[in-house]
Amino acid sequence: MGALAHNLEGALSPRLEEELQRLQPVDYRLAALLIVGGGGEPHQIAYATNQFCEMTGYEGPDLVGHPVDWLSGPDTDPVALSDFQAALNSEEAIELDMLAYTKAGVSFWGHLQVQPVQRSDGETEGFAIYLTHAKKTRASYLSEVWQKIEDAWSDDRRDAE
């Protein structure tokens, strides 16, 4: 089973605790999923499914109670990381691809889907973060970057004329 947090700074809401208790018996059937407590920074991981642990090489105790910066590494796009953090801070949903790292330091393209977990009154209590392998590759990323450079260079040349 995944790892469940019991001693996080700032207790989880009763609703999140209830949801986590309901997830445990079916953990083996779930996708790579993190439940992150809401409110305050850094946002702490409250639950990680087995699929998530297998995909990233982390064990539950490596994750639970820690901030969600576990994915970043030396070649992670700072803009993607900033967009991810901004979505958490503004309590908004986001989908993005970013270069992530396993515990062993092996990079992989991850597709993140972040969904706020909200009460019926609209108050955000936390986040569900789904992780899958992205279809993006290092070559396609570099191709996109190169295209942006070429576009910017063309725009600068047109402005100079």
pLDDT in tens, the chain (161 residues): 444 443 344 556 676 667 666 666 555 556 788 888 866 667 888 888 888 888 899 888 888 888 887 778 999 989 999 999 999 989 999 999 998 999 999 999 999 999 988 877 888 888 889 998 888 666 666 677 777 788 888 877 777 76
Query: Strand pairing partners for 45?
Result: 36
Which residues are CB-contacts of 3 (< 8 A; sequence separation ≥ 6)?
A: 47, 48, 53, 59, 60, 61, 63, 64
**pLDDT value for 1:** 41
Does domain 3-136 bear CATH number 3.20.20.140?
Answer: no
Q: What is the pLDDT of residue 119?
A: 78
Sheet of strand 124-133: strand arrangement? 3-4, 45-48, 32-37, 124-133, 107-118, 94-101
> What pLDDT, on the 0 to 100 scale, is given for residue 2?
43
Can you give the pTM of this predicted structure?
A: 0.70
